[in-house]
Amino acid sequence: MQPSKICATCGTYYSSNASYDVCPICADDRQYLPEGGQRWTTPEELTSRYSVRTNQLRQNVYELEIAPSFAIAQRAFLILSPQGNVLWDCIPLLNEPIVEFIKARGGLRAIAFSHPHYYSNMHDWAATFDCPVYIHRSDEQWIFGKGDRVELWDGTENPLWDGMRLINVGGHFPGSSILHVPSLSEEGAVFCGDTLVISPNKKHIAVMYSYPNRMPLPHGEVQRIKKQVEAIPFDMLFSFMRDLNLTEDVKEIFDRSMERYLQ
Ligand SMILES: [Zn+2]
Ligand SMILES: [Zn+2]
pLDDT tens, position by position, 151-174: 999 999 999 999 999 999 999 999
CA–centroid distance, residue 116 to ligand 2 (Å): 7
- Give the Cα separation of 98 and 122 in Å (integer): 14
CA–centroid distance, residue 210 to ligand 1 (Å): 14
CATH superfamily of 4-262: Ribonuclease Z/Hydroxyacylglutathione hydrolase-like (3.60.15.10)
CA–centroid distance, residue 29 to ligand 1 (Å): 12
Strand-pairing partners, residue 87, are 78, 111
The DSSP call for residue 9 is T
pLDDT at 247 over 90: yes
CA–centroid distance, residue 55 to ligand 1 (Å): 26
pLDDT at 58 over 70: yes
pLDDT at 1 over 70: no
State the alpha helices, DSSP H only, in the chain.
Answer: 24-27, 43-49, 96-103, 122-129, 219-230, 250-262
pLDDT value of position 2: 63
CA–centroid distance, residue 104 to ligand 2 (Å): 30
Ligand nearest 196 Cα, by number? 2
Note residues around ion ligand 1 (Cβ under 5 angstroms): 7, 9-10, 23, 25-26
CA–centroid distance, residue 243 to ligand 2 (Å): 17
Domain positions in the chain are 4-262
* pLDDT tens track for 196-226: 999 999 999 999 999 999 999 999 999 999 9
* pLDDT tens track for 60-84: 999 999 999 999 999 999 999 999 9
CA–centroid distance, residue 53 to ligand 2 (Å): 21
CA–centroid distance, residue 171 to ligand 2 (Å): 10
- Give the Cα separation of 77 and 62 in Å (integer): 6
At 147, the pLDDT band (50, 70, 90 cuts) reads: confident
DSSP string for residues in 29-63: TTS-PPTTS--EE-HHHHHHH-EEEEEEEETTEEE
- Give the Cα separation of 36 and 47 in Å (integer): 25
pLDDT value of position 70: 98
- Give the Cα separation of 91 and 73 in Å (integer): 8
Any idea of the CA torsion for 232, 238, 239, 243, to the nearest 10 degrees?
150
The DSSP call for residue 215 is B
For the full predicted model, state whether its pTM sits above 0.85. Answer: yes
- Give the Cα separation of 150 and 117 in Å (integer): 16
